[in-house]
């Protein structure tokens, strides 16, 4: 499988234009590597550290980012080798129910799996890579490095990620 860093595909890529809105007629499990990777909007939300409530199973996002996430661009510094560098990095392909819970509700993979379609701000819909940041969906400039926050302090950094709000809300 050829790995393209997430968020580098655009609405002008062959995967988006030659096949039209491929995500509307190609099931996730049948997508080519190029189609799959082009779905990533590059927001960086999936790279935020999460805490799971052992009693309810609810997943809570924090503003603490994986050590490989560039805080200024919200892109993985070592995307092709991320699984070797970060053994608990979540591989979402193939996508299953358990993995869906660990993805933000705004994630294209989750949205499509849940039958919601892509958001208006998604670059494949808007035709503009900057629409992710303009919609307030990117974590660029708003994260803390996991190496600088002790694990016992993570609950202090839980945030609420909402699809239609511009800024994550601290709970």
Which pLDDT belongs to residue 50?
96
Which pLDDT belongs to residue 137?
95
Contact predicate 103/7, CB 8 Å: no
Which pLDDT belongs to residue 19?
62
Per-domain residue ranges for the chain?
14-163
Which pLDDT belongs to residue 20?
80
Which pLDDT belongs to residue 6?
52
Contact predicate 28/109, CB 8 Å: yes
Give the mean pLDDT of 21-44: 95
* CB within 8 Å of 58: residues ≥ 6 apart: 52
pLDDT of 72 > 70? The answer is yes
Which residues pair with residue 148 across a beta bridge? Answer: none
Q: What b-and-e string marks burial along 16-35, b requiring 16 or more CB atoms within 10 Å of the CB?
A: beeeeebbeeeebeebeebb
Q: What b-and-e string marks burial along 133-152, b requiring 16 or more CB atoms within 10 Å of the CB?
A: bebbbbbbebbbebeebeee
Q: How far is CA 171 from CA 44, 156, 166, in A?
A: 20, 9, 15
pLDDT of 12 > 80? The answer is no
Nearest to 171 by CA among 89, 57, 58, 68: 58
C-alpha radius of gyration, the chain, whole number: 16
pLDDT of 120 > 60? The answer is yes
Alpha helix (H) residue ranges in the chain: 14-17, 33-39, 82-85, 97-101, 108-113, 123-126, 131-134
pLDDT of 95 > 70? The answer is yes
Give the mean pLDDT of 50-70: 95
pLDDT of 4 > 80? The answer is no
Block residue for tokens 């499990």:
29
Give the mean pLDDT of 72-85: 95
């Amino acid at each position: 499988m050829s790995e393209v860093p997430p968020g580098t595909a655009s609405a002008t890529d062959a995967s988006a234009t030659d096949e039209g809105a491929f995500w509307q007629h190609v099931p996730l499990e049948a997508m080519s590597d190029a189609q799959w990777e082009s779905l990533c909007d590059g927001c960086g939300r999936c790279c935020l550290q999460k805490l799971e409530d052992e009693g309810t199973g609810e997943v809570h996002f924090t503003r603490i980012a994986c050590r490989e996430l560039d805080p200024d661009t919200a892109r993985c510094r070592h995307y092709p080798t991320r699984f070797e560098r970060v053994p608990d990095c979540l591989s979402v392909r193939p996508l299953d129910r358990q993995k869906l819970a660990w993805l933000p509700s705004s994630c294209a993979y989750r949205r499509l799996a849940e039958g919601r379609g892509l958001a208006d701000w998604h670059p494949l819909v808007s035709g503009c890579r900057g629409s992710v940041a303009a919609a307030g969906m990117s974590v660029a400039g708003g994260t803390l490095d996991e190496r600088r926050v002790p694990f016992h302090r993570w609950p202090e950094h839980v945030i609420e990620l909402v699809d239609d709000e511009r800024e994550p809300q601290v709970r």
